[in-house]
Amino acid sequence: MKKNRIVLLIVFISISLLGIILLQGYWIKNAIDTYEKQFSQNTNNALITVADAISDREMRDYLSAYQKLKDSIGAPVESQLVDVFQFIDKNTDDENFYLYYSAILEEDYNINSNLFDSRSIDSISIKDYTSLKSTIIFDDAFEKEMNSMTSLEKLQKMEKISLMDEAKYKSIFIDIANLKPITNRVSNIELELLLQKEFNERGLPTDYDFRILNNNVETKLGTKRYENFEKLSKYSVPLFTNQNGESEYVLIVGFPKDINLLNSNIIVLIIFLFVFTIIIIVSFYSTIIISIKQKNISEMKSDFINNMTHEFKTPIATINLAIDAIKKKLIGKVDNKSLSYLNIIKDENNRMNNQVENVLMISQLEKEKIELQKKMHDINQLVELAVSRVELLSKSVDAKIIKTFEKKKNTMLLAKEEIINVFVNILENSLKYSKSNPIIEIVVKNEKLNTIILFKDNGIGMNKKVKSKIFEKFYRESSGNIHNIKGHGLGLAFVKKIVEMHSGMISVKSKEGIGSTFTITFTNVN
């Protein structure tokens, strides 16, 4: 991998990782804010419920005391009807008269506020009110009798109106209660029990401190769990409000600021996110370190191959010179068989030199240090030259190579030796990975602005796994019946690189037992 690509990869992954961390932080902050809002809302609702419960309990106490006083006195001292409403209607169907009565019965039991609190300056008379409703049907004979009855006698069916009791007496009882000290109106035990009940139902912490303030001055009511109440997270609610919603008392509940207010589920999610983020960061760092080490190893390997191949080139060239010198001296002095042996040595030495050149070429292509010398060449001629170079190999396996050219001339800008090597590599593979008497078809055809070269053989073919990897460096299939075929797996990698440097494309179609077809497509044909 190129150095620039590694740097870009590190930058992109770092930006992505930073984005993920920021998004996680944003989500965690929102989750915490939402939970804190819910916590505050639940706490305030709990305090409101406690304040209402205390006020309702106090009102019930006064109403119960008033009812006991009224029952102990017996009959009211004075009673009268107020807000009397009556309506008489005659039904034309049955000729009867309908009398509708609605009134309020006011009964005075001679009870005043002094009976609830002797310190009360005002002597407020407390009276009882009852709603009275009645519908009477009467005829002419009954009308005279009804006229002689009083209103109280006509309204014997009476209905209590508790809502009116509370509305009528509430302001009076509030005035009476305000004369009492706060310690006589509520106790620490009642506050503690109500707070514990509401907090448990809402899942709130039970580690808290509470106080009742009178005009911002602490009263005797409250806990002393924490020495410094100011260091607590406080929530408050007015206590014993009047008809206008005003109160001089405030119930304050405080939680320690270091108390864990987060929901356990949120804490678990945050821990998992933190752990996974650390794992991703460590994995990313390890991957980068490994990639850099692998790149360094690859560069060292490429440098080693370059040095070794350069070292090989010197003895190969020396062997060639030596063979040529021997042949010159032995011409006419040795038999033809000995000369053929020398020719074989020379051919194999040249073949070894070509392989060394291929290795050097691959190394240089990887580092992009090679510049192809392109000129106008006829692809048909290059195919012919490639076929001639594998002539000895094709004869050794008794192969048949068929060439078909759609046009007599296909000229385009090419690097001659490199393209010939491309064709030679494909032909050698077809010859090596073949059955007996291989047949290779080479077709050069033109489609629009493209020149296409097909290499079709009847060899052993490839499966999908092998086909997907044949253009990778150093890859060789080591299973099946091809384990004994020699090579270093650089040929097709070299082919792909050279074709791509000519803005071309190479592909392969293959089926096991049937053969393979390599297709090379060159564009911008002149």
Summarised one tens digit per residue, pLDDT across range 430-454 is 888 887 788 999 999 988 888 999 9
In 317-463, which ranges are E strands?
Answer: 375-378, 400-405, 411-414, 439-447, 450-457
pLDDT, position 265: 65
pLDDT, position 402: 93
Average the pLDDT over each of 5-9, 128-132, 311-315 and give the range with the smallest value: 128-132
What is the percent of the chain with per-residue pLDDT over 90, rounded to a whole number?
A: 16
At 346, the amino acid letter reads K
Is the Cβ–Cβ distance between 33 and 296 less than 8 Å? no
Number of C-beta neighbours around residue 237 at 10 A: 21
Residue 86: pLDDT band with limits 50, 70, 90: very low
Mean pLDDT of 64-75: 63
Burial label for 266, CB within 10 Å (0-12, 13-18, 19+), is middle
| Model confidence, pTM | 0.45
Starting at the earlier edge strand, list the strands of the sheet with 505-511. Answer: 400-405, 439-447, 450-457, 515-522, 505-511
* Angstrom distances, CA of residue 107 to CA of 76, 124, 125, 152: 6, 15, 11, 12
Is the Cβ–Cβ distance between 391 and 428 less than 8 Å? no
Is the Cβ–Cβ distance between 231 and 43 less than 8 Å? no
Angle at 490 between CA 484 and CA 495, to 5 degrees: 120
Average the pLDDT over each of 89-93, 294-298, 311-315 and give the range with the smallest value: 89-93
pLDDT, position 483: 39
pLDDT, position 23: 87
pLDDT, position 49: 94
Q: Is pLDDT of 517 > 90?
A: yes
pLDDT, position 491: 65
Q: Is pLDDT of 383 > 90?
A: yes
Mean pLDDT of 501-511: 91
Neighbouring residues of 296: CB distance < 8 A, sequence distance ≥ 6: none
pLDDT, position 356: 79
Residue 384: pLDDT band with limits 50, 70, 90: very high
Starting at the earlier edge strand, list the strands of the sheet with 97-112. Answer: 78-90, 97-112, 125-138, 158-160
Q: Is pLDDT of 255 > 50?
A: yes
